[in-house]
Amino acid sequence: MGSDTDKAPHARVLLKLSGEALMGNAGSGIDVTTVNRFAADIAAARAGGVQIAVVVGGGNIFRGMAAAASGLDRTTADHMGMLATVMNALALGGALQAQGCDTAVMSAIPMDSVCEPYAQRRAVAHLEAGRVVVLAAGTGNPFFTTDTAAVLRAVETGCEAVLKATQVDGIYSADPKLDASAERFDHLTYDEVLARDLKVMDAAAIAIARDNALPVVVFGVGGEGAISAAVAGQARCTRVSV
């Protein structure tokens, strides 16, 4: 790898994007301008030499928990949510290809006519070949969040960190939009996140990261170049590690 990679803190990372991030200022669905901005930013980061996998959520299209609460069977609702992530992954993958960035979209739920089925060795081969790998359908199982899927896929594919994009610039003791006195953290241990019940990721995701000594970097996705800055280790963020 080139000198740009040497300057980055990690050679291979997994970026976690929520479905809500993809809808931009719209109330739901996919905002094309926002997706194109993310794609350009990811492509720029990849051009710097860092290998990048992406896990996308589906909350902008379908929120499984809300549907379950309204009476829909939770397993069915979660499967619908997984299919929503496939639509988001295809949108992001298409936007990346339009940027001239070679991309592979892989799904934990096999649908060969739409995208590749996820396989660990194939995903690693794509990363080593320089492709951005967009991972859809979570773990392929109900009752697991896309945060858990992101950490699991990061471990499986040998990523050195999970970069979790949020609406704020790190982890706070409370929602800073609601509590002006909320404390922001530069660094937390995995156990501190669990003990304080900080909601940046679910407990299963944090536990998997802890058990595999996988750092989780939480950063704000707003603004031009936010993703590439996080990949380069230059973003204002909170790092969760040992």
Sequence-ordered strand ranges (E) for 90-206: 103-107, 116-117, 132-136, 161-166, 171-172, 184-185, 187-189
pLDDT in tens, 69-91: 577 888 988 898 999 999 999 99
Q: What is the pLDDT of residue 209?
A: 98
pLDDT in tens, 95-132: 999 999 999 999 999 999 999 999 999 999 999 999 99
pLDDT in tens, 169-184: 999 999 998 999 999 9
- What range does the domain containing 179 cover? 3-241
Give the length of the chain.
242
pLDDT in tens, 128-171: 999 999 999 999 999 999 999 999 999 999 999 999 999 999 99
Residues 19/85, Cβ–Cβ less than 8 Å: yes
The enclosing domain of 102 has a CATH number of: 3.40.1160.10
The count of domains in the chain is 1
Q: CA-CA distance, 137 to 109, in Å (whole number)? A: 6
